[in-house]
Chains A and B, each alone.
Chain A
């Protein structure tokens, strides 16, 4: 009796494992069968993914996720994620795809499969008064430059470009210090700075330098989901080629980023 029970248990566990691996074998088929694409998105990162006044998740990346669903002919379900859980969710199969301002890094490459090219990118630039007339990174030499403590580019700004770094705990302090004239520039992520430039308070400021350390934000799928990843690659290339990313940037009030422009040039003839 006991033996039989054990055998059955082992068999059923094995069967479960097999069926699970079959089910996980192709997310793309799963999505089509289910009729819903489950996407992990940010809900706290305007304008890429945020809550609208009536509580819906909206944003640039949400529009992209909806576009994927539309192309696949399925509905969309949005799952809010944060940096620390998004790869876990993907791994556990809670979501089919991550499209959540995720920078493509070597470390993450080991855990998930990134869709390349990236659909977006951010890099390092400065926010500075127009009057300062900065044109290249070398102009920062000997100048007080605000930053955020712990940012990796602080070292480079100080060591290579000779700036005098004044790093604060958060962005709010750094923006205030820049406005009070405690520094001549604020070195930070260009995507965030572009968002600020849109506001009236920063009308006398500009983002004058060439963006450095640009790294792409990739969509990601679980490892081994090659069919799905290839499908998404096609879609991303089409977004770049058709100028959809550039249009979305304009729609969300962001000045066109160098990355989006460059990718459009690269893929527009496809």
Chain B
């Protein structure tokens, strides 16, 4: 590792390409903690948004008119407002209305921190799209299939979980893939509410060293890598779930 560190130091001295995240311990630690926060934020909101999508799409088919209306209102609100504004609204607006708790220093602090609010707002934002994505999948499942499941004695929920959803999943995976890639990129917005993720730590590093081009390039490469992992995983899943003769 020392060879790598000194190589980057050498690179800075000889070419002026300054990447302190590789040779300065303090910067390396904060950069990697930023990477970790980005991954945590991505994974948590990815899972939560898919859960919201699945549950929301089921509620959309509910017989109760008010349940359907609430889901519709949720989609309209979160899909039609900018995620950055939502994050600010949650963090500074909504959070001020919630009860506070005493922290370890004996002061009152808001019950949820910036990371939690970033997770919540990102999940709800991507979740709103996921509901619609799953709806498109569900609607692609032929009505006769649902009737067949019911005739075999499945309840509405049972048919949804065991018959409709597995088929719907196969149809909507490409769209879901798109939305989840988008979600990973949208995590950078969390820097606005001081979540120490990758863009946040990079911003601090490039204002300390005035090495904006280098850090920007590094940042881009890392996001290409992160998104690549998501795409790879999703593509494998898509292949594994392929049913011969179903869909394309």
**Residues of A that sit less than 8 Å from B by CB:** 129, 131-132, 143, 146, 149-152, 154-155, 159, 166-169, 173, 176-177, 180-182, 184
**With A132-B107, A182-B110 given, is the CB distance from A150 to B207 under 8 Å?**
yes
Contact status of A167 and B208, CB under 8 A, knowing A129-B107, A132-B105, A184-B107: no
Interface residues of B in 185-232 (CB under 8 A from A): 191-194, 200, 203-204, 207-208
User: B55-72 CB contact bits vs A (8 Å, 1 = yes)?
Assistant: 000000000000000000
B114 at the interface (CB under 8 A from A): yes
Given the known inter-chain contacts A168-B194, A184-B105, please indicate yes or no for A149 contacting B110, CB distance below 8 A.
no
A20 CB, nearest partner CB in chain B, Å: 36
Within 8 Å by CB of A181, from B100, B203, B204, B208, lies B100
Among B87-107, those with CB < 8 Å from A are: 92, 95-96, 100, 103, 105, 107
Q: In the bound complex, how far is the Cα of B191 from the Cα of A155, in angstroms?
A: 17
Given contacts A149-B191, A173-B92, A184-B107, 6 further A-B contacts (CB under 8 A): A146-B194, A149-B203, A155-B204, A159-B26, A180-B109, A182-B113
Complex formed: what's the CA distance from A142 to B55 in Å?
A: 41
A154 CA to B107 CA, complexed, in Å: 23
State which of B26, B109, B191, B204 has its C-beta within 8 Å of the C-beta of A182: B109
Given contacts A143-B105, A167-B194, contact A154 B204 (CB under 8 A): yes
Neighbouring B residues of A152 by C-beta, 8 Å? 207-208
Known: A150-B207, A159-B26. A181 touches B200 (CB 8 A): no
Is the pair A180, B200 in contact by a Cβ cutoff of 8 Å? no
Q: Check if B145 is an interface residue, CB within 8 A of chain A.
A: no
Q: Is the interface of B mostly helix, strand, loop or mixed?
A: helix
Q: With a CB–CB cut-off of 8 A, which chain B residues contact A131? A: 107
B96 CB contacts on chain A under 8 angstroms: 180
Q: Does B12 contact A (CB under 8 A)?
A: no
Contacts of B178 in A (CB 8 A): none
Do A181 and B107 touch (CB < 8 A)? yes
B10 at the interface (CB under 8 A from A): no
* A176–B110 CA distance with the chains assembled, in angstroms: 12
Asked whether any CB of chain A lies closer than 8 Å to the CB of B108, the reply is: yes
Distance of A173 Cα from B208 Cα, bound (Å): 21
Most-contacted residue by chain B among A159, A168, A182 (CB, 10 A)? A182
Q: By the criterion CB–CB under 8 Å, are B208 and A155 in contact? A: yes
Chain A nearest CB from B94 CB (Å) reads: 12
The 6 closest A-B pairs by CB, nearest first: A150-B207, A181-B109, A166-B194, A181-B108, A168-B194, A155-B208
What chain B residues lie within 8 Å of A182 (beta carbons)?
109-110, 113-114
Known: A159-B26, A180-B96, A181-B100. A167 touches B204 (CB 8 A): yes
Q: Which residue of chain B has its CB nearest to the CB of A129?
A: B107
A143 nearest CB neighbor, chain B only: B105
Q: How far is the CA of A131 from the CA of B105 in the complex (A)?
A: 11
Please measure, in the bound complex, the distance between the C-alpha atom of A154 and the C-alpha atom of B191, giving whole angstroms. 15
Whole-angstrom CA separation of A131 from B109 in the bound complex: 14
Complex interface: chain A residues within 8 A of B92 (CB): 173, 176-177, 180
A184 contact set on B, CB distance < 8 A: 105, 107
Residues of A within 8 A of B191 (CB): 149, 169
